[in-house]
Chains A and B, each alone.
Chain A
Amino acid sequence: MDNEYKKGIYGKGAKIPGLAIARMIGHISYLSEQGMDKKFNRRLEEPSFAAKMSDFEKQFETEFAVEGYLAYQGKKFVDRFDANSYIAITKAMDLFDLGARYGDEKYTEDKSPEKAAEKALQKAFKRVKAEILLVSFSSDWLFSPEQAFDIVQALTINNKDVSYIEIPSIHGHDAFLLEKKTAFENVVLTQAIKNFISHIKV
Chain B
Amino acid sequence: MYRDIYLKNTYEEIVKLIDADTRVLDLGCGDGEMLFMLYERKNVYGLGLDIDTTEVLKCIKRGVSVVQEDINNGLKKYKDNSFDYVVMSETLQAVKDPDKILKKILKVGKKAIVAFPNFAHYKTRLSILFNGKMPKSNILPFEWYDTPNIHHLTIRDFKDFCKNSGIKILSEVYLGDNGKRIGNTFTNFFAEEAIFLLQKGEDEKKVQIKEISLPFPFKK
Chain A residues packing against B (C-beta within 8 Å)? 131, 133, 149-150, 152-153, 156-157, 159, 161-167, 188, 191-192, 195-196, 198-201
B56 at the interface (CB under 8 A from A): yes
Q: Is the CB of B53 within 8 A of A188?
A: yes
- Residues of chain B at interface, number, CB under 8 A: 21
Chain B residues packing against A (C-beta within 8 Å)? 23, 45, 47, 53, 56-69, 77-78, 82
Contact with A195, one of B61, B65, B77 (Cβ below 8 angstroms)? B61
Interface centre among A131, A164, A191 (most CB of B within 10 A): A164
A166 to B82, CA, bound (A): 23
Q: Which residues of B contact A153 (CB under 8 A)?
A: 77-78
Which of chain A's residues has its CB closest to B82's CB? A157
- Would you give the shortest CB distance from B117 to chain A, in whole angstroms? 29
A192 to B53, CA, bound (A): 10
Which of chain A's residues has its CB closest to B56's CB? A165
Contact with B60, one of A152, A156, A159, A195 (Cβ below 8 angstroms)? A195
Q: Is the CB of A165 within 8 A of B53?
A: yes
Q: Which residues of B contact A199 (CB under 8 A)?
A: 60-63
Q: Which residues of B contact A150 (CB under 8 A)?
A: 77
- Would you give the shortest CB distance from A187 to chain B, in whole angstroms? 10
Q: With A162-B65, A164-B66, A188-B53 in contact, do A196 and B60 touch (Cβ < 8 Å)? A: yes
A-B contact pairs, 19 of them (CB 8 A): A131-B63, A149-B69, A150-B77, A152-B67, A156-B47, A156-B65, A156-B67, A159-B23, A159-B45, A162-B65, A162-B67, A163-B59, A163-B64, A166-B68, A188-B57, A195-B57, A195-B60, A199-B60, A199-B62
